[in-house]
Copies of this chain bind each other. A is one copy, B any other.
């Protein structure tokens, strides 16, 4: 039987609804990659009685408890104090943690004195293992409950609450620690499969799962742009063979190992070819451009975009002939083709994507349902128009339209390479 893990997320703001708890899913997806699903998560405010109650609940159910939040310098940061109290440990100053705090403070506030309360973050439970915080001042902490405890020898891992500190610490310290602790999940591998639904990915994997049976654990997690596919196993031979199977099964759909999004992959593929991309967006209304420019440095590839949400702007910015719009409608193969052709004049580039469709909830007509999207895509001297039929909410239709267009542009880039 594998060890059980429970999560506790501490902070008033989680319960007030001010903040959506992304830490739980950040922790959850990293544990899933190790083949573990937490048995529970509890959110509690920064109050002694609530933190202690959440601890009892979690220690009773799990061998390892991961907490987030309450390690900062202010009066309501009380996590480690109460956990130390619960485990009968005293707090003492850690020299290395104090140095790291000074370093970070000087970087952010070069001309200000450090307030004494900031050094509270260097106080750690006696005997704790300290996890360095590369993105902030509060160190992470690992302690064990004493032999004499009602729940003896449990591991408690305390992480800072800000997601931009918690995630890097999970990756740099906690995942390696758990890989050592959870002995049967030594080998892990993550793949990103684009262009296919989660159910199709699952179906294609069935023979692989059947072949390795209990020696291989497979998990899935669908995002807007692709399906994350996780393999975990104790055996290096099984892992090697499973990786080969996945690479064969999803030859076209597997993204590069370091691409964490399709937009990233597109920027990478075009960037290494010194090529540029232009966008013309109707139904997606700027979403494709937003996703590209989420990535720092995207200006080297992204030549520019136009958002032609209205018919008039399709004509004025892209030169789409008024009679194409009249005859075939704004949502048509013909308009998508005219948009991507017109884009070549408006913004010269090596690659171009034009999107027009019905994101809903209104706008459907006979034969043109909500979710119908046409993507006109040009790469070098080749232009193609794709029809996408998407479902669900306005937001999801827009996300999937962008993902679909990026995926097809990627295929055209790879095809051009194979032909050359």
The verdict on A20 contacting chain B, using a C-beta distance below 8 Å, is: yes
Partner of A53, one of B57, B281, B395: B57
Asked if A294 is at the interface (CB within 8 A of a chain B CB), the reply is yes
* Interface pick from A9-17, A67-75, A136-144: A9-17
* Interface of A, helix, strand, loop or mixed by DSSP: mixed
Among A33-41, A88-96, A153-161, A235-243, the stretch that binds chain B is A33-41
Docked CA distance A312–B292 (Å): 17
Contacts known (A40-B42, A286-B307); A25 close to B32, Cβ less than 8 A: no
A276 — nearest CB in chain B belongs to which residue? B310
Task: Check if A40 sits within 8 Å of B54, measured CB to CB.
Answer: yes
Tell me which residues across on chain B come within 8 A of A24, comparing CB atoms: 14-15, 17, 20-21, 43
Complex Cα distance, B316 from A48, in Å, reads: 61
What is the minimal beta-carbon distance from A257 to any residue of chain B, in angstroms?
Answer: 20
Q: Is A285 part of the contact surface with B, judged by Cβ < 8 Å?
A: yes
A306 and B303 contact, CB distance less than 8 A: no
Partner of A307 from the list B15, B306, B310 (CB cut-off 8 Å) is: B306
Which residue of B15, B21, B308 contacts A40 across the interface (Cβ within 8 Å)?
A: B15
Instruction: Pick from A20, A219, A359 the residue with the most CB of B within 10 Å.
Output: A20
Whether a CB of chain B sits under 8 angstroms from the CB of A18 is: yes
The answer to whether A37 touches B45, judged by C-beta atoms less than 8 angstroms apart, is: yes
Contacts of A289 in B (CB 8 A): 281, 285-286, 289-290, 307, 309
A285 touches B290 (CB 8 A): yes
Q: Does A245 contact B (CB under 8 A)?
A: no
Contact present for A16 and B307 (CB under 8 Å): no
Quick check: B304 and A317 within 8 Å, CB to CB? yes
CB proximity to B under 8 Å, residues A340-390: 346-347, 359-362
Q: Would you call A222 and B18 a contact (CB within 8 A)?
A: yes
A195 proximity list for chain B (CB < 8 A)? none
Measured between alpha carbons, how far is A309 from B295 in the docked complex, in Å?
A: 12
Assembly CA distance A388 to B164 (angstroms): 24
Chain B residues lying within 8 Å of A220, measured Cβ to Cβ, are: 18
**Assuming the A-B contacts A290-B286, A303-B313, are A30 and B53 also in contact, with contact meaning beta carbons closer than 8 angstroms in the complex?**
no
Is the CB–CB distance between A290 and B293 below 8 Å?
Answer: no
Chain A window 76-113, contacts with chain B (Cβ cutoff 8 Å), 1 for yes, 0 for no:
00000000000000000000000000000000000000
Considering the chains assembled together, what is the distance between the CA atoms of A26 and B20 in angstroms?
9
Q: Determine the distance from Cα of A17 to Cα of B290 in the docked complex, in whole angstroms.
A: 24
User: Which residues does chain B contribute within 8 Å of A178, judged by CB atoms?
Assistant: none
Q: Which of B25, B40, B292, B307 contacts A17 (CB 8 A)?
A: B25
Tell me if A268 is interfacial: C-beta within 8 Å of chain B. no
Q: Which of these, B19, B40, B44, B302, contacts A50 with CB under 8 Å?
A: B40
Write 26 A-B pairs (CB below 8 A) sorted by A numbering: A14-B28, A15-B38, A15-B39, A17-B26, A17-B29, A17-B32, A18-B32, A18-B221, A20-B21, A20-B25, A21-B25, A40-B44, A40-B50, A42-B42, A285-B290, A285-B293, A285-B302, A286-B290, A286-B307, A287-B293, A289-B289, A290-B290, A304-B306, A304-B307, A304-B308, A304-B310
Q: A14-B24, A289-B290, A306-B307 are in contact. List 6 more A-B contacts (CB 8 A).
A: A14-B25, A17-B30, A285-B302, A286-B290, A286-B307, A307-B307
